[in-house]
């Protein structure tokens, strides 16, 4: 899956499969994926006849390829428009996955920059619920066809964790003090009063996600906002589990 716009009526059934898989990882395998992103979600082919057609086309007109560092790299082949609903999505690439720690949390950096949970940035200890935040941001990105967060330093054009936290504040309001107190790197971004370092100390008020959603409308939009807001909570312990999310009204509507 690439970071392109996916309509809500297609997102819901796909998301049910992903949440079912994530629940299995968390509750049965006791594994935290840590790297949920569109590149790591595989969709089954919608029509097996495509494979037969591909073989015939390759025999007739082979795809251009070249050797690079002892690897054969093939040019992209366009398969055209979807011929029907895609196959079941699958969570892939467990190269960075970890088993649940004995003491309850980990503290090392994980997740793609713009999908990082606040407890990961703040080094406040993360566990299964980091995957829930990760998935929540990814869903928003796929529905809107763009990134919820920018977090790019205009001077260096590189990722800035401080700007990322600023953007979270603008959407969700200031982080709870209890999260900052347990964050090993919180003092790099916030004062003892909970205000952003080197920024205006006026209490930030969250503008909410409502104005950022442009692809859903009416009751469907309201239900989605309730759904994704449950996932994008500052405090990890306030986020629902994958199994709980499967019962959410938006997915069942």
Per residue in 33-77, pLDDT (tens digit) is: 999 999 999 988 878 888 888 888 888 988 888 888 888 888 877
**Terminal Cα-to-Cα distance of the chain (whole angstroms):** 24
Joined together, the tokens standing for residue 238 give: 């306030």
Kindly state the average pLDDT of the residues 89-97.
Answer: 95
Q: How many helices (H) and strands (E) does the chain have?
A: 9, 8
Tell me what percent of the residues of the chain surpass a pLDDT of 70.
Answer: 94
Q: Where are the domains of the chain?
A: 8-40+63-252
3-14 mean pLDDT: 80
Given a cut of 80, whether residue 4 has pLDDT beyond it is: no
Write phi, then psi, for 87 (nearest 5 degrees).
-70, 180
pLDDT band at 200 (very low <50, low <70, confident <90, very high): very low
Positions marked catalytic: 35
Query: How many Cβ atoms are within 10 Å of 238's Cβ, its own excluded?
Result: 11
Residue 208: predicted pLDDT: 79
Q: Which parts of 68-190 fold into alpha helices (H)? A: 118-121, 129-144, 161-172, 177-181
Query: In this predicted model, what pLDDT tens digit does every residue of 96-132 receive, in sequence order?
Result: 999 988 778 999 999 999 999 999 999 999 999 999 9
What pLDDT does 218 receive?
A: 94
pLDDT tens-place string over residues 205-220: 556 788 899 999 999 9
DSSP tag of 63: P
User: Could you say which of 2.60.40.1250, 1.10.510.10, 3.20.10.10, 1.10.3470.10 is the CATH number of the domain covering 8-40+63-252?
Assistant: 1.10.510.10
């Amino acid at each position: 899956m690439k970071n392109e716009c996916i309509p809500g009526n297609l997102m819901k059934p796909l998301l049910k499969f992903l949440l079912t898989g994530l629940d299995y990882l968390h509750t049965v395998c006791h594994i935290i994926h840590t790297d949920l992103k569109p590149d790591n979600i595989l969709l089954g082919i919608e029509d097996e006849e495509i494979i037969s057609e591909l073989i015939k086309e390759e025999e007739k007109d082979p795809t251009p390829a070249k050797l690079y560092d002892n690897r054969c790299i093939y040019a992209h082949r366009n398969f055209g428009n979807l011929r029907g609903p895609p196959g079941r999505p699958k969570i892939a690439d467990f190269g960075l996955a970890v088993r649940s720690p004995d003491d309850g949390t980990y503290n090392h950096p994980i997740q793609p920059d713009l999908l990082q949970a606040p407890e990961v940035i703040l080094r406040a200890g993360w566990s299964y619920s980091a995957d829930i935040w990760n998935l929540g941001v990814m869903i928003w990105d796929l529905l809107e066809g763009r990134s919820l967060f920018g977090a790019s330093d205009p001077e260096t054009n590189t990722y800035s964790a401080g700007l990322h936290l600023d953007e979270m504040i603008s959407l969700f309001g200031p982080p709870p003090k209890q999260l900052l107190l347990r964050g090993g790197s919180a003092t790099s971004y916030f004062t003892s009063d909970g205000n952003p370092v080197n920024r205006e100390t006026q209490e930030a008020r969250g503008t909410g996600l409502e104005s950022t959603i442009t692809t859903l409308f009416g009751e469907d939009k309201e239900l989605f906002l309730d759904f994704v807001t449950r996932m994008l909570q500052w405090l990890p312990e306030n986020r629902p589990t994958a199994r709980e999310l499967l019962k959410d009204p938006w997915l069942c509507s």
